[in-house]
A and B are shown apart, each in its own frame.
Chain A
Amino acid sequence: MSADDGPVDVPAIETVRGAGIPVRGNDIDTDQIIPARFLKVLTFEGLGEFAFFDQRYETAGPDGEGGQVAENPTDHPFNDERFRDANVLVVNANFGCGSSREHAPQALQRWGIDAIVGESFAEIFAGNCLALGIPTITADSEAVEALQDHVDEHPDTEITVDVGDEQVRYDGTEIDAAVDSAQRQSLVAGEWDTTALLGANPEEVAATAESLPYTEL
């Protein structure tokens, strides 16, 4: 770090409000969220349109000329007009398992997702979401499935994801939810972009480095 860097300004995230979009199923892996062929990029720009790409078309794949074949759209929620303006993704268990690709939450965020409610999340995925300021809030399977059903029937329902109070609220229903404690503190304090925080004590870092028996050159 050079000395004159101030912290990057990121907002505190206490609550996220908006319409929901249910993507059902356990063990939805990052290869489903963003297939590896879309990782051949130097920036994350434009990844939003490829979120769940291979789930959204019966026939999907590279066209051999640098473009994509996308034929016969499926009934995947990301194709459903009713959910086009949704920003709260509602998922089931072990969402985001598999690779460490940050391209997965980047694609979801660029599609429009600001918060994810689920039964459980894979660890690296949840960490990557935090680094982008996307809360991953968990609740039990009955509550999550009820929310998915409700959103399916009433897509315009406003959902409130309350990170600080660890609650998800919609249409008079209050779900007791959980947010990992470090995630909650980081989001609520607006300290989820950790580069400045970690760069604040270079002497202390150097001292730790020197105390290790393997760091001599």
Chain B
Amino acid sequence: MSEGTLYDAVWDRHRVRRLPSGQDQLFVGLHLIHEVTSPQAFGMLRERGLEVAYPERTHATADHIVPTDDRERPYDDDAAEAMMQKLEENVEDVGLTFDHPDTGRQGIVHVVGPEQGLTQPGMTIVCGDSHTATHGAFGALAFGIGTSQIRDVLATGTVAMEKQAVRRIEVTGELGEGVTAKDLILTIIGELGTDGGVGYVYEYGGSAVDALSMPGRMTICNMSIEGGARAGYVNPDQTTYDWLRDTDAFEDNEERSSSSSRTQSGDDPEKFAERKEYWESIRSGDDATYDDVVTIDGSAIEPTVTWGTTPGQTVGISEPVPHPDDLAPEDRAVAERAQEHMGVEPGEPMDGYPVDVAFLGSCTNARLSDLRAAAEVVEGREVADDVRGLVVPGSQRVKAAAEREGLDETFRDAGFEWRGAGCSMCLGMNDDQLVGDEVCASSSNRNFVGRQGSAEGKTVLMSPEMVAAAAVTGEVTDVRELDAAPEVAR
């Protein structure tokens, strides 16, 4: 078993007791809830006559079903309206902090937590959403749970968990020009497989990870679950502390502090120093023991996209799509079905694969830096004829910040639709869906069949920069070549 890692330290600090099953009872430092997976849990709580044990450690937002175009209430979609009303009712009953759309703080749960400073190193964080791993970017232990576990956490402030093994993923070298955190995590999943992380927590480190910004670290931790790992994390460092200092939790700004969650400590610099002492104390030691170590050469990674229907079916942009016969025997049938669904040919590169929709959004890649990077590609270019381009900021704050920089104009001028914040076309629970057999160049996290709302739809996962490049050329395109030859755009 691992020893001396951040995972061990955070686990030990939060362990309440050993349960008869051999699982541990873990205290939950932050419980994030949203409208899709919480209503049944509140229902079960009421049925059993239970109350929320730690309302001050529970924080709500609405993201999955929220419309991104017409956000007037009541929503056009009755089911979405009913879900929103139920969340409003539950939040009101219990007295929870809620990033309601009227607050200007609403957004995707994994965007709002980090941006408000709710997410901090050394916390345990759970949410009824598999992409909760995102918060591990701060050195938190964060994982997705199901609705029955949401009930447990609401009722007791704790969750029953088994401790897992820790795999260190050491990314050496540095990422090249035009290569992003998204390309790195797609490469990692491609190499280790979609179930390679089952039973593990991933610790990402090494020079290429150290050099990543917080949004970049969030992107890689976010997709840990696509590699089978329920949680992933990066040890906190100066990059982490610099981000936190600017959040509501610690920023010396009365107005913002008063509007932030009660779970935070306000604007006291001494408090920041005290917290930082804890954050430093939980970092993995130089002599930490891991259950497994995998080394990836970050310098060798190129812009990477998916060719199939699992996030592990990835290929560098200059590489050919593999032939199923060249894959491991257990992967062949899945690959054949995927290639048939996608209409891709083994031996051909994904470069040039035509797209109908470009989706820039999701908890993986809809933060301000993602929008900036995509806008830089889009600047002075136009979305190709017959391509539908959609930009969905991760939160209302991301949207407002982008508008202050004029990014909305850049996208609109190029022919993109500029939408309100939410999960949107990542999973098509609102009106933002693929139609028929449309192909989507998507900055989201899952290319499963039917994921984006149409059973015949096709998803190609890629970085925001690559989505922008695909939008302007109308086909999967190496963004680095686009930069070298701007005349490609009309």
Residues of A within 8 A of B (CB): 1-2, 5, 8, 25-27, 29, 31-32, 35-37, 39-44, 54, 60-61, 66, 93-94, 97-103, 105, 120, 122-124, 127-128, 131-132, 141, 180-183, 185-186, 189, 191, 193-195, 197-199, 201-202, 204-205, 208-209, 211-217
**Residues of chain B contacted by A122 (CB below 8 angstroms):** 195, 198, 228
Closest chain A residue to B44, Cβ basis: A195
Q: Is A93 a contact of B195 with CB atoms below 8 Å? A: yes
A2 and B51 in contact, given A26-B331, A205-B16, A213-B278 (Cβ under 8 angstroms): yes
Q: A45 CB to closest chain B CB, in angstroms? A: 10
A39 and B429 in contact, given A98-B446, A213-B274 (Cβ under 8 angstroms): yes
List the 7 shortest-distance A-B pairs measured between CB atoms, nearest first: A131-B148, A128-B146, A102-B146, A100-B144, A40-B79, A94-B195, A102-B147
Which of the residues B15, B120, B128, B263 comes within 8 Å of A208, measured between beta carbons? B15
Q: A5 CB to closest chain B CB, in angstroms? A: 6
C-beta contact mask, B1-38 vs A, less than 8 Å → 1, else 0?
Answer: 00000000000011111011111010101000000110
A26 and B453 in contact, given A101-B37, A194-B152 (Cβ under 8 angstroms): no
Which of the residues A27, A31, A32, A100 comes within 8 Å of B37, measured between beta carbons? A100
**Residues of chain A contacted by B29 (CB below 8 angstroms):** 212, 214-215
Q: Known A-B contacts: A193-B148, A212-B14. Give 19 more (CB < 8 A).
A: A5-B50, A26-B333, A31-B446, A66-B78, A98-B225, A99-B446, A100-B37, A100-B129, A100-B145, A102-B37, A122-B228, A123-B199, A182-B23, A185-B20, A197-B160, A199-B53, A204-B16, A205-B25, A213-B275
How distant is the Cα of A5 from the Cα of B45 in the complex, in angstroms?
A: 11
A37 and B157 in contact, given A1-B50, A123-B230 (Cβ under 8 angstroms): no
**Residues of chain B contacted by A105 (CB below 8 angstroms):** 146
How distant is the Cα of A99 from the Cα of B127 in the complex, in angstroms?
A: 12
Q: Is B156 a contact of A214 with CB atoms below 8 Å? A: no
Question: Does B259 sit at the interface, judged by CB under 8 A?
Answer: no
Question: Does B80 sit at the interface, judged by CB under 8 A?
Answer: yes
Closest chain B residue to A209, Cβ basis: B27
Which of the residues B14, B53, B78, B149 comes within 8 Å of A127, measured between beta carbons? B149
CB within 8 Å: A-B pair count: 226
A205 and B156 in contact, given A61-B455, A123-B228, A195-B151 (Cβ under 8 angstroms): yes
Which residues in window 23-80 of B have CB below 8 A to A? 23, 25, 27, 29, 36-37, 39-40, 43, 48-51, 53-54, 56-57, 64-65, 77-80
A32 and B195 in contact, given A40-B80, A131-B149, A204-B17 (Cβ under 8 angstroms): no
**Residues of chain B contacted by A132 (CB below 8 angstroms):** 148
18 contacts between A and B (CB under 8 A): A2-B51, A5-B48, A5-B49, A31-B451, A37-B428, A60-B455, A98-B130, A99-B144, A100-B37, A100-B132, A120-B195, A123-B199, A181-B21, A189-B20, A198-B158, A198-B160, A212-B29, A214-B123
Closest chain A residue to B164, Cβ basis: A123
How distant is the Cα of A217 from the Cα of B262 in the complex, in angstroms?
A: 7
How distant is the Cα of A157 from the Cα of B147 in the complex, in angstroms?
A: 34
Q: Is A211 a contact of B13 with CB atoms below 8 Å? A: yes
Q: A58 CB to closest chain B CB, in angstroms? A: 9
Q: Is B275 a contact of A199 with CB atoms below 8 Å? A: no
How distant is the Cα of A32 from the Cα of B449 in the complex, in angstroms?
A: 7
How distant is the Cα of A144 from the Cα of B53 in the complex, in angstroms?
A: 43
Question: Does B379 sit at the interface, judged by CB under 8 A?
Answer: no
Q: A21 CB to closest chain B CB, in angstroms? A: 19
Which of the residues B25, B27, B146, B262 comes within 8 Å of A212, measured between beta carbons? B27
- With most chain A CB atoms within 10 A of its CB, the pick from B43, B428, B455 is B455
Question: Does B314 sit at the interface, judged by CB under 8 A?
Answer: no
Which of the residues A35, A181, A193 comes within 8 Å of B450, measured between beta carbons? A35
**Residues of chain A contacted by B86 (CB below 8 angstroms):** 42
Q: A154 CB to closest chain B CB, in angstroms? A: 24
**Residues of chain B contacted by A8 (CB below 8 angstroms):** 48
How distant is the Cα of A216 from the Cα of B37 in the complex, in angstroms?
A: 28
**Residues of chain B contacted by A29 (CB below 8 angstroms):** 310, 446, 448
Which residues in window 225-245 of B have CB below 8 A to A? 225, 228, 230
Closest chain A residue to B128, Cβ basis: A100
**Residues of chain B contacted by A102 (CB below 8 angstroms):** 37, 40, 128, 146-148
How distant is the Cα of A147 from the Cα of B337 in the complex, in angstroms?
A: 23
Which of the residues A54, A66, A212 comes within 8 Å of B13, measured between beta carbons? A212
Q: Is A209 a contact of B54 with CB atoms below 8 Å? A: yes
Q: Is B429 a contact of A189 with CB atoms below 8 Å? A: no
A93 and B429 in contact, given A185-B20, A214-B278 (Cβ under 8 angstroms): no
Which of the residues B156, B195, B277 comes within 8 Å of A97, measured between beta carbons? B195
Q: Is B155 a contact of A1 with CB atoms below 8 Å? A: yes
